[in-house]
């Protein structure tokens, strides 16, 4: 996953018990997340009669052309292929066209600019930004429709969303479909073989890292070319933990409030990165490598821990050694007994304002926001969907089920979607890289970043 995932800071009380879209999916700055155990049931639900998928009153027969644009990143395209095929089967008189791929956003840009976009769009990957699309008048206003919209199961869509739709000036234009969490991965099989204890907090993370280092393996590697990985998985959760589990400090940072960056919580979090650095736990190769290189070293057990998003296993599926068993926790920076902090992100779906078949597009929204499709998403993409539900008995990967448990646990602090000013975001990433290699101190990190914050205010 190379794209930059939106830092989700929208609170979630009961989150996704259904994992469905995974993989390097929702990252915006880099080149950037399955059916259920009961596949038959999922198929049955997914293949509901066309009349059910067309409208809430079961009276509309869908016809004409209907085009769907979807980006293919770390989450892959298996789910999209399956759900589109199911929707087509349920609506035989509709001519569904798929426009998908890793470069689809760039390929379709001229059509969006020219006012001839596809009817439905999955907003993920480089080249698409939901806020910009709203400001450019490219997306349909779904505010009134969503208030009463039901999925094909008869559930209000707003009732089953783990994270609610973001509002732009009080209006809704896109709906979160995928729910990702940043966090720290390790190889459970390696830990079992070596007798290492899996971390539950910062002290246990340091303790086991001492043993890992003594055993000749580097404890921690990150993606130095894309520092938002370490910021999203380590720094931001650490800031929230140090701020009494209150993520509003991140929202204040995103609002360019200098005092938020100068908070003691920020320094406390930065000093945890310094602790990893000074103990020699950070692989020196980290600073110069990209996401796939760091992930390969992790998969080869050259490094024991890696900060990443839930799309990692799906993105690296062709390179995972036999017997490798992913362990995952959203945060390791909390104190003993402290709450886990999940820094989440979402990828959304929307209808084009200039789309030619909005009726089919709305029916497709009702179709994909079903519990069966959420379960399929979890299994086929290796990540949770934004639809509430229990996936414990599904065929989703164990690490996805583990993530879902954290995200649905009322004791987990779930950070909603937070987007930082682009210049400030880059300043934070560059400063964190410099901190990891002892070029600056935590205080200098704050100075560097606040200088930029003051410029963009």
Q: What is the pLDDT of residue 421?
A: 87
Mean predicted confidence (pLDDT) in 148-159: 96
For CA atoms 358, 359, 365, 368, the dihedral sign is negative
Find the range with the poorest average confidence among 11-20, 298-307, 327-336, 437-446.
11-20
Residue 17 predicted with pLDDT over 70? no
In this chain, the answer to whether the domains covering 7-180+347-410 and 181-344 adopt an identical fold is yes
Q: How far apart are CA 271 and CA 259, in angstroms?
A: 18
pLDDT value at 200 more than 70 = yes
Nearest to 213 by CA among 232, 239, 189, 194: 194
The token pair at 75 is: 């989450």
Confidence of residue 346 (pLDDT cuts 50, 70, 90): confident
What is the Cα–Cα distance from 226 to 30, expressed in whole angstroms?
7
What is the reported pLDDT for 11? 32
Phi, psi of 182 (to 5 degrees): -75, 160
Over residues 388-417, the mean pLDDT reads: 82
Note the pLDDT of residue 339.
97
Range 274-294 average pLDDT = 97
Kindly indicate the confidence band of residue 1, based on its pLDDT and cuts at 50, 70 and 90: low
From the list 107, 109, 302, 338, the residue with the least C-alpha distance to 205 is 338
39 has a pLDDT exceeding 50? no
195: left (phi over 0), alpha (psi -120 to 50) or beta: left
Percentage of the chain lying above the pLDDT 90 cut:
69
Residue 327 CA from chain centroid, whole number: 17
In DSSP notation, 104-158 reads HHHHHHHHHHTT---SEEEE-STT--HHHHHHTT-B---HHHHHH-B-TTS-BHH
Strand 174-187 vs strand 120-123: parallel, antiparallel, or unpaired? unpaired
Q: Binning pLDDT at 50, 70 and 90, where does residue 79 land?
A: very high
Using alpha carbons, select from 135, 115, 134 the residue that is nearest to residue 174.
Answer: 134
Domain boundaries, the chain: 7-180+347-410, 181-344
Topology given in CATH for the domain delimited by 181-344: D-Maltodextrin-Binding Protein; domain 2 (3.40.190)
**How confident is residue 19, by pLDDT bands cut at 50, 70 and 90?**
very low
Q: How far is CA 403 from the centre of its chain?
A: 12
Within 8 A by CB and 6+ apart from 350, the residues are 120, 121, 123, 130, 133, 139, 140, 142, 173, 174, 175
Give the pLDDT confidence of 87-134 residue by residue, as tens digits: 999 999 999 999 999 999 999 999 999 999 999 999 998 888 888 899
More confident call, 368 vs 29: 368
Q: Assign 41 a pLDDT band (cuts: 50, 70, 90).
A: very low
Q: What is the mean pLDDT of residues 366-386?
A: 87
CATH among 3.90.1150.10, 2.130.10.10, 3.30.565.10, 3.40.190.10 for 7-180+347-410 = 3.40.190.10
Q: Of 47-56, 350-359, 413-422, which has the strongest mean pLDDT?
A: 350-359
pLDDT at residue number 31: 34
CA dist 173 → 81, 218, 362 (Å): 24, 45, 12
Summary mean pLDDT of the chain: 87
Model confidence, pTM: 0.76
Residue 232 has pLDDT above 70, yes or no: yes
pLDDT of residue 366: 97
SS3 332: coil
pLDDT of residue 53: 40
Residue 216 has pLDDT above 90, yes or no: yes
pLDDT at 394: 72
- Give the pLDDT of residue 383: 78
Query: Rounded to the nearest 10 degrees, what angle do helices 442-456 and 264-278 cross at?
Result: 130
The SS3 of residue 171 is strand
pLDDT of residue 126: 81
Q: Determine which of 111-125, 150-164, 339-353, 366-380 has the lowest per-residue pLDDT on average.
A: 366-380
Q: Give the C-alpha separation, 282 to 436, whole Å.
A: 8
């Amino acid at each position: 996953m190379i794209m930059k995932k939106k830092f989700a800071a929208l609170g979630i009380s009961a989150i996704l018990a259904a994992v469905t879209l995974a993989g390097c999916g929702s990252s915006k700055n880099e080149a950037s997340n399955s059916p259920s155990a009961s596949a038959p049931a999922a198929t049955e639900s997914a293949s509901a009669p066309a009349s059910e998928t067309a409208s809430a009153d079961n009276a509309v027969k869908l016809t004409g052309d209907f085009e769907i644009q979807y980006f293919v990143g770390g989450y892959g395209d298996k789910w999209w292929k399956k759900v589109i095929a199911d929707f087509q089967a349920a609506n035989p008189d509709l001519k569904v066209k798929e426009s998908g791929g890793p470069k689809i956003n760039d390929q379709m840009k001229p059509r969006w600019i020219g006012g001839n976009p596809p009817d439905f769009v999955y907003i993920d990957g480089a080249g698409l930004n939901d806020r910009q699309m709203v400001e450019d008048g490219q997306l349909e206003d779904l505010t009134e429709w969503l208030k009463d919209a039901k999925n094909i199961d008869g559930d209000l869509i707003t009732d089953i969303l783990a994270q609610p739709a973001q509002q732009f000036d009080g209006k809704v234009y896109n709906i979160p479909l995928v729910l990702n969490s940043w966090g720290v991965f390790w190889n459970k099989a390696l830990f079992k073989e070596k007798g290492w204890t899996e971390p539950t907090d910062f002290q246990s993370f340091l303790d086991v890292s001492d043993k890992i280092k003594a055993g000749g393996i580097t404890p921690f590697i990150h993606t130095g070319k894309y520092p938002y990985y370490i910021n999203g998985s380590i720094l931001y959760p650490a800031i929230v933990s140090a701020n009494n589990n209150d993520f509003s400090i991140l929202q204040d940072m995103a609002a360019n409030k200098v005092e938020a960056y100068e908070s003691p919580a920020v320094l406390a979090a930065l000093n945890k990165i310094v602790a990893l650095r000074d103990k020699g736990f950070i692989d020196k190769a980290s600073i110069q490598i990209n996401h796939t290189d760091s992930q390969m070293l992790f998969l080869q057990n050259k490094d024991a821990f890696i900060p990443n998003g839930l799309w990692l296993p799906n993105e690296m599926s062709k390179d995972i050694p036999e017997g490798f068993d992913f362990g995952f926790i959203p945060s390791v920076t909390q104190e003993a007994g402290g709450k886990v902090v999940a820094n989440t992100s979402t990828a959304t779906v929307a209808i084009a304002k200039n789309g030619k078949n909005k009726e089919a597009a709305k029916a497709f929204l009702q179709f994909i926001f079903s519990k069966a499709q959420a379960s399929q998403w979890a299994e086929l993409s290796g990540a949770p969907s934004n639809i509430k539900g229990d996936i414990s008995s599904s065929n989703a990967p164990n690490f996805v089920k583990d993530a879902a448990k954290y995200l649905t646990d009322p004791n987990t602090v779930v950070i909603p979607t937070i987007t930082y000013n682009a210049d400030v975001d880059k300043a934070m990433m560059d400063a964190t890289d410099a901190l990891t290699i002892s070029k600056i101190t935590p205080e200098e990190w704050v100075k560097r970043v606040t200088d930029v914050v003051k410029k963009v205010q």
